[in-house]
Amino acid sequence: MFAEKVIELLKEAERNPDTIDPFNDEKIRQILEEMHLLFKMNMNDANATNENKSLWTTVQVRHSALERNKRCLLAYLYDRMKKIKTLRWEFGSVLPPDVRELLSDEEYQWFSKYSTNLASYMRSLGQDIGYSGIDLTENLKPPKSLYIEVLCMADHGKLELEDGDVITLKRNSRHFLPTAECQTLIRQGVLKQIV
């Protein structure tokens, strides 16, 4: 059937709306193959229709199938781009290896481009008044209190605080830190907030 594979592709992607699946290289290749096949058949028939109008409907149906395939493939990629964008906000510019594996090479390229673009925008903020830019990926949640208690989940090494103090983050150690400075580490999973 026409355009059946592409629907499978979209349905698979839809199954996990919050997480990203591995890039489905194989299926996309199959869909593109189907498109080429349809196109070839259309070319043959279209050349033949000059004399014979009876094939015209077939050509039209195939053409809509092609259009549909294209539309759905673009939708698939666009949806993945949206998910990749959220990865940038969650993990910062460096992806953990297990997440990195889920992206195709082109998608990873897109991710780095997106990341660079975002970074250069953030750097440009407030440049006129001598600011070196703001990191918009901080302050994702409204601040509730100045300091929070955190539990260290992994050995991270030394962390220098804004006021110059240096603390060592060791597994299972507890700290009382300024909220602003441990947000990134919390998102990376090094620290965990204890309520």
Partner 1 sequence: MDPIDDIELSEEEEEITAETVLKTLQSAWQNERLAPEILPHHNDMVECMLGQIQHMERNINKLPKTDLRASIHKMELSRIKFIICNYLRTRLNKIEKYCIHIINEERQRMESGTNYLTPAEFKYAQEYLLNMESHLKNVVLDKMPGNMQTLELNKMAIYPNLQTHVFLKANDTVSCVVLEDLVGDQDEEIDLEEGSQHILQYKPVADLVKTGKVQLV
| Least distance in angstroms from the C-beta of 51 to partner 1 | 22
Place of tokens 């889920």: 102
Q: Output the DSSP codes for 22-62.
A: PP-HHHHHHHHHHHHHHHHHHHHHHHHTTT-GGGHHHHHHH
| Least distance in angstroms from the C-beta of 106 to partner 1 | 5
Q: State the residues that interact with partner 1 by CB under 8 A.
A: 28, 32, 35-36, 38-40, 66-67, 70-71, 73-74, 77-78, 81, 85, 104, 106-107, 109-110, 113-114, 117-118, 121, 124-126, 128-129, 131, 134, 136, 138-139, 142-143, 145-146, 163, 179-180
Question: Among residues 20 and 66, whose Cβ is nearest to partner 1?
Answer: 66
Who's near 139: CB < 8 A, 6+ residues apart? 180, 183
Would you tell me how many other CB atoms lie within 10 Å of the CB of residue 144?
7
Q: Residue 191 in 3-state DSSP?
A: strand
Question: Among residues 10 and 171, whose Cβ is nearest to partner 1?
Answer: 10
| Least distance in angstroms from the C-beta of 16 to partner 1 | 20
- 148 DSSP β-pair partners: 177
Question: Among residues 78 and 157, whose Cβ is nearest to partner 1?
Answer: 78
